[in-house]
Amino acid sequence: MTRQEMHELALAYLQQRLTIEEKLEVFRLIMENDDFLQVLSFELALLRRFAPLKTVAPAGVRERVQEKIIVVVQNPKKVIAERVIHQVLRGTMPQIAWAVYQPWQRRVFAYE
């Protein structure tokens, strides 16, 4: 087993994504392979270190993202047209007008 495979197996174990057979393999490796035990402890240390960095999305964001995904799936031509218009305006508008358009665009798309 390569070192990369050990890291992947250890991470999958810590994230509880393994089948029963794979868990048995992990337990066997813990008992027999010191390198795997080091890899497992390293992955655990990384998970603990980066756990506080995870943030939860604000309440309405998940719903807005799901709604936008549904709109894109139902009407992809509209979304493509919006992207094309955005690029055309960005290339042709003077910089001063772009400074006005961009905040307006953010406000409109954020509160649709």
In this predicted model, what pLDDT tens digit does every residue of 43-100 receive, in sequence order? Answer: 999 999 988 887 777 878 888 888 888 887 888 887 787 788 778 777 777 777 777 7
Burial 7-27 (b: 16+ CB within 10 A, else e): bebbbbbbeeeeeeeeeebbe
Alpha-carbon Rg of the chain, whole angstroms?
24
Q: Can you give the pLDDT at residue 58? A: 80
Residue 32's domain comprises: 3-53
Give tens-digit pLDDT for 2-17: 999 999 999 999 999 9
Cα distances from 108 to residues 29, 34, 88, in angstroms, run: 55, 57, 19
Tally of domains within the chain: 2
- Regarding whether 103 and 74 lie in a shared domain, the answer is yes
Same domain, 42 and 63: no
Cα–Cα distance for residue pair 106/103, rounded to 1 Å: 5
For residue 107, name the pLDDT band (cuts at 50, 70, 90).
low
What pLDDT, on a 0 to 100 scale, did the predictor assign at position 112?
Answer: 52
User: Could you give the C-alpha distances from 30 to 17, 20, 24, in angstroms and in order?
Assistant: 17, 15, 10
pTM reported for the whole predicted model: 0.51
Residue 64 CB partners (closer than 8 Å, separation 6+): 112
Residues 10 and 31 in one domain: yes
